Structure 1
Amino acid sequence: MKNNVLVKLYVDDLRPTPNGYLRVYYYKEFVKYILNNGIPDFISFDHDLGIEETGYDCAKFLVEYCLDYHLTIPNFTVHSQNPVGKENIEKLLYNFRKLNK
């Protein structure tokens, strides 16, 4: 939370940005945002982000970043319509939380 404002990040290449969210479209923008601003309070992930990296790649980067800096995974949701991709992101992040309590 920065200046008592909840920072919510929306990771999606196609859907409209919901009110109250900051937006990144692709993996490289996600990485740049985290490196420049740190971990937001909440992240909403899509899985399919164009033709290169996916939302799962974003989630893997987030886990590695949290490991490197001894941080916890922020609250999140996965709004992807890709059921396998959604499950993969959720499992990765929930398992990381379980292992790092």
Structure 2
Amino acid sequence: MSYNLFLDDSRNPRDVKWVELPLVAWTVVRNYREFVETIQRDGVPRIVSFDHDLADEHYKEFARATDPKTIDKQIKYETLTEKTGYDCAKWLANFCVDKGIPIPLYYLHSLNGIGCANIHSILESARKVMNEGTSGNPTGGSTGERQDDVG
């Protein structure tokens, strides 16, 4: 089944005006669980568009951060209950590497710039692992584990 996956806790694809998303039909998922279940059921999508902060607790922590230059150090995502778009990207990267499936085309529509950079980094690391034919996974952990440092 060929489909396109849009990950966001509140927005729909038509709400995103700051990134030029393709005009395609989207399957919308709102959280990590729905993201994983959809891919396990339907396979890797053709396109994925990622939001980073997927729960109110993420926004509250982001709002509490005081220095924009070190915001990634101020928010302790590992202490939060809900997983982020970065966790989804890590899961997808490991899933694709484990199965030998190419990383799909992806867009980053999150307004969290650091979150976007981290998602981009993990997916490109997975592409590099796959292109070089090296073994292992791009996050250094098993699918679904949280890793704060992205290589």
Greater Rg, structure 1 or structure 2?
A: 2
Residues 1:66 and 2:96 are matched in the alignment? yes
* Structure 1, unaligned runs of 5 or more: none
- Does the Cα contact within 8 Å between 2:49 and 2:108 map onto a contact in 1? yes
Out of 29, 35, 41, which is 2:34 matched to? 29
Residues 1:96 and 2:101 are matched in the alignment? no
Give the root-mean-square deviation of aligned CA atoms. Answer: 1.3
Stretch of structure 1 that moved more, 32-41 or 16-25: 16-25
How do 1:11-50 and structure 2 match up within 5 A?
11-18=7-14, 20-50=25-55
Cα deviation 1:20-62 (Å, max 9, x = unaligned): 2110000000010011111010000000000410000000110
Cα deviation 1:41-94 (Å, max 9, x = unaligned): 000000000041000000011011112211110000110000110100001101
SS at 2:49 equivalent: strand
Provide the C-alpha distance between the structure 1 equivalents of 2:13 and 2:93, rounded to a whole number of angstroms: 24
TM-score normalised per structure 2: 0.61
* Structure 2, unaligned runs of 5 or more: 15-23, 58-81, 132-151
Provide the C-alpha distance between the structure 1 equivalents of 2:29 and 2:100, rounded to a whole number of angstroms: 24
- Matched to 2:5, the amino acid is L
Residues 1:10 and 2:6 are matched in the alignment? yes
Q: How many corresponding residue pairs?
A: 97
SS at 2:34 equivalent: helix
Stretch of structure 1 that moved more, 10-19 or 54-63: 10-19
Question: Higher strand fraction: Structure 1 or Structure 2?
Answer: 1
Identity %: 41
TM-score normalised per structure 1: 0.89
Moved over 4 A (4+): none
